[in-house]
Structure 1
Amino acid sequence: MQKLILPFVSGFLASLFFREATLALLHAAQFIDASGFSTQPFVPLGLPEFLVNAFWSAIWAVPMAWLLRVSPSRPAPWVPAFVFGGLVLTAGMVFVVDPLRGIWPSGNMLPRLAMGFASNAMWGWGALVFMRALMSETVED
């Protein structure tokens, strides 16, 4: 359970409580136009964007937990989780998800990349927070 379901649930919760909250705070501070918890329908599925983002974030949390070797017996990799979220999820957004939706990387991408890095880095940190909080001390095989 700690190797698959726990990271999945942690990634989903981190998207709602950390990533979307970061976007909402940046919007409230008038740094970005996009607000958190976007209910606009995601193009091919019709579901709200924040739910689709939470699902994909949950999927990304499984390889993050595996690559960073998250376990209760090891020290928590806080900085690598922050960097993993910021770099991997932002690259996935720019080079995979957006082109599938017809949005191509062009022009001045710095504001979009900065916003993506900030919110996704907070997701990585939040996913690790939830993983560590929900982990039991006994290891299941």
Structure 2
Amino acid sequence: MQKLILPFVSGFLASLFFREATLALLHAAQVVDVAGFSTEPFLPLGLPEFLVNAIWSAIWAVLMAWLLRVSPARPAPWIQAFVFGGLVLTAAMVFVVDPLRGIWPSGNMLPRLATGFASNAMWGWGALVFMRAFMSETPED
């Protein structure tokens, strides 16, 4: 259970409490135009964007927990989780998800990449926070 369900739940919660909150704070500080917790429908599903992002973040958290070998017996990979979230999720957004939605990388990508890196890096850190909080030290799981 600690290898699949807990990282999944951790990634979902980290998306809501860390990624979307970071976007909301950056928007409140007038640094970015994108506000957190977007309720725009994500096509073709029709679900709110923040909910779809949370589901995908949950799936990415399982991969991150496996790659970084997150466990209570090992030291927490804080920097690696921060970098994983910032680089991997931002690259997946720009080069996979957006082209599937018809949004192609063009023009000055730096503001978009910086915003994506900041919010996704906070997600990676937050996912690790939740994973470490939820995992028990008993080896039976």
Q: Please, what TM-score do these two structures have when normalized by structure 2? A: 0.99
The equivalent of 2:51 in structure 1 is: 51
For structure 1, list consecutive stretches of 5 or more residues without a partner in the other structure.
none
Give the secondary-structure state (helix, strand or coil) at the position aligned to 2:42.
coil
The equivalent of 1:15 in structure 2 is: 15
The equivalent of 1:123 in structure 2 is: 123
The equivalent of 2:105 in structure 1 is: 105
CA–CA distance in 2 between the matches of 1:138 and 1:114?
40
The equivalent of 1:71 in structure 2 is: 71
Kindly report structure 1 stretches of 4+ aligned residues shifted beyond 2 Å: none
CA–CA distance in 2 between the matches of 1:54 and 1:91?
17
Q: Contact 1:20–1:37 (CA<8 Å) still a contact in 2?
A: yes
Give the secondary-structure state (helix, strand or coil) at the position aligned to 1:73.
coil
Structure 1, residues 73-94: CA drift from partner, whole Å, max 9, x if none?
0000000000000000000000
Q: Contact 1:3–1:66 (CA<8 Å) still a contact in 2?
A: yes
Q: CA deviation at 1:43?
A: 1.5
Sequence identity percentage: 89
CA–CA distance in 2 between the matches of 1:134 and 1:117?
25
Q: CA deviation at 1:139?
A: 2.1
Q: Contact 1:2–1:140 (CA<8 Å) still a contact in 2?
A: no
Provide the alpha-carbon RMSD of the alignment.
0.6
Task: Look up the equivalent residue of 1:118 and give its one-letter code.
Answer: A
Give the secondary-structure state (helix, strand or coil) at the position aligned to 2:41.
coil
For structure 2, list consecutive stretches of 5 or more residues without a partner in the other structure.
none
Give the secondary-structure state (helix, strand or coil) at the position aligned to 2:8.
helix
Q: Please, what TM-score do these two structures have when normalized by structure 1? A: 0.99
